Amino acid sequence: MEYVVIKCGGSIFFQLPPAFYQNVAELHNKGEVQPVLVHGGGPLISRTLSRLQVETQFVDGLRVTTKEVLEVAEMVLSGTMNKQLVQKLQQQGGKGFGLSGVDGRLLQATQSDNAALGFVGTVEKVHVSILHHLVDQGFIPVISPICMDEEGNKLNVNADMAAAAVAQALQARLCYISDIPGILVENNGETKVLHETTSSQIEQLIADGTITGGMIPKVRSALQALKNQVPETVILNGLVADSLLSFYQGAAVGTKISLTSEVGYV
């Protein structure tokens, strides 16, 4: 079974057209590839925290997670976001099955070494037998990135990093769905999409401020995945019709990230 892990960002969730979910369902129903969705929910978490008057901070694009923030994050991610995504999939002919990294210890994590981040984790193990079982029953797994450590403590894991860990475990292609056409750079006075990029160029773009905020963990998780035998990663604009199908069919869409390749603009 060939898998593709699709990470759906919280910033684009409420903008995604029905065609996106149709694409996911079509990939699944054709039987040629098995989609697995991993989703975030940062903007809705921020709005909910604000409404509840809970302070929130970020360090290098990652949310600082106190116990109070973790409770809200789990409510939003494993509740609202996860079940809405499953619903939208099923409305377009997909058979979604929602779960979090806590369920069955699907995603086993350890707490970050950076104490400033609080209850933030790094995925150390993916129990892929759970995913294989769901797939065998005809489901499309939809995963919320709330995880658990060996002692049973819950941890918030960045969704980009969780998606990369799942892709590594499944040796699957990794596709980040965003609301932009890829990594944007200035070239000869024009803003263009960086069609292909490499690890060394990404570090340079981070250093010069071209890549900032939440894009930093996205591209670094992509590189880490590539180092761990993920065959291909790409950042796609989910608002463009059939961009997901075009990627799977080998078209030059979005920004393809490689360890080493030629750099190109479109």
Q: What is the pLDDT of residue 166?
A: 97
pLDDT beneath 50, residues of the chain: 266
User: What is the pLDDT at residue 167?
Assistant: 96
Pick from 190, 214, 206, 213: nearest CA to 10? 214
Query: In this structure, what are the phi and psi dihedrals at residue 135, rounded to the nearest 5 degrees?
Result: -65, -40
User: How much is the pLDDT for 266?
Assistant: 47
pLDDT at 64 (0 to 100)? 92
Cβ within 8 Å of residue 36, ≥6 positions away: 3, 4, 5, 6, 131, 140, 141, 143, 166, 170, 172
Q: In CATH terms, is domain 3-265 a member of 3.40.1160.10?
A: yes
> How do the domains of the chain map onto residue ranges?
3-265
Please name the amino acid found at residue 95.
Answer: K
Distance CA 163, CA 175 (A): 9
> What pLDDT score does 264 carry?
54
What is the token pair recorded at 124? 């150390």
